[in-house]
Amino acid sequence: MIGSIVTQKQNIFQRVREIPFREVFREFRGGEIRHGKAVCPFHSERTPSFHLYQNGFYCFGCSEAGDAVHFVGKLLNLQPLRAAQLIAERFGLPVQSGPLSRDDLALLARQQAERLREKRLREAFDTWCRTAGARARLMTEAIKTIMDGKGVEVDGDLLPIVHLLPVFEYWANTLLMGTDEEKVALYRDPAVRGWFPCRT
């Protein structure tokens, strides 16, 4: 959970917009996000056209667009200030009228450091998924090339590699196009990490 302290001197809208939009979407709407897209909550559709970005959204189906405040306001029929306050409450951003104490400043610094750490971990994980997925795809192409050249005569040392073709295909598809949960499951699999170690 993201948390910090918002004083009256600070702009609550600015602070709320620091929360990644995906987190706001998950908190207020829920539902599956695949490849940065989800089903739009503002119109009826079968194919997801609601694109989620770091600081907001755009729906290619109904052209609705905006930031987290606009999203929550439209979703719950709230004025912008009330929407911002509700987001602040949900993410532990209490509004405080007085100046920040030393403890508050220390807490704020810890929370900012934690957000930065989480962001770096997410970036490292995404990089590993892309890299491992691309390598798994290269392995599938290499195995197919071997099979095309050898045909049914694949034997000896090459046979165990050929039997891995469906495994590499599954890994490549999951790491490049799967859900976050599927990617995390592969990341935790020692067999996958054995082939594609994480160097971060």
Please check the confidence at residue 91 and state whether its pLDDT lies above 90. Answer: no
- Token pair, residue 5, equals 């302290």
The span from the CA of 177 to the CA of 102, in Å, is 46
* pLDDT mean over 115-143: 90
Dist. CA 5–CA 105, nearest whole Å: 9
| Percent of the chain clearing pLDDT 90 (strictly above) | 42
Q: How far apart are CA 15 and CA 10, in angstroms?
A: 8
Compute the average pLDDT of residues 75-89.
Answer: 90
176-199 confidence digits (pLDDT tens): 998 888 999 999 999 999 999 877
Rounded distance between C-alpha atoms, residue 186 and residue 1, angstroms = 25
Asked if pLDDT for residue 94 goes beyond 70, the answer is no
163 — pLDDT class (breaks 50, 70, 90)? confident
**How does 140-166 read in b/e, with b if 16+ C-beta sit within 10 Å?**
beebeeebeeeeeeeeeeeeeeeeebe
Res 5: pLDDT: 46
Query: Which residues, other chains included, contact 29 with Cβ-Cβ below 8 Å and sequence gap of 6+?
Result: 38, 41, 75
The encoded tokens of residue 192 equal 């996958």
- The arithmetic mean of pLDDT across residues 72-94, rounded, is 88
Each residue's pLDDT tens digit, 147-161: 776 655 656 666 677
Higher pLDDT, 192 or 17: 192
Rounded-to-integer distance, Cα 129 and Cα 183, Å = 7
pTM of the predicted model as reported, rounded to 2 decimal places: 0.52
> Are the beta carbons of 22 and 91 closer than 8 angstroms?
no
Beta bridge partners of 50: 38, 59
Q: Tokens standing for 147?
A: 């099979």
Q: Is pLDDT at 104 greater than 80 in this prediction? A: no
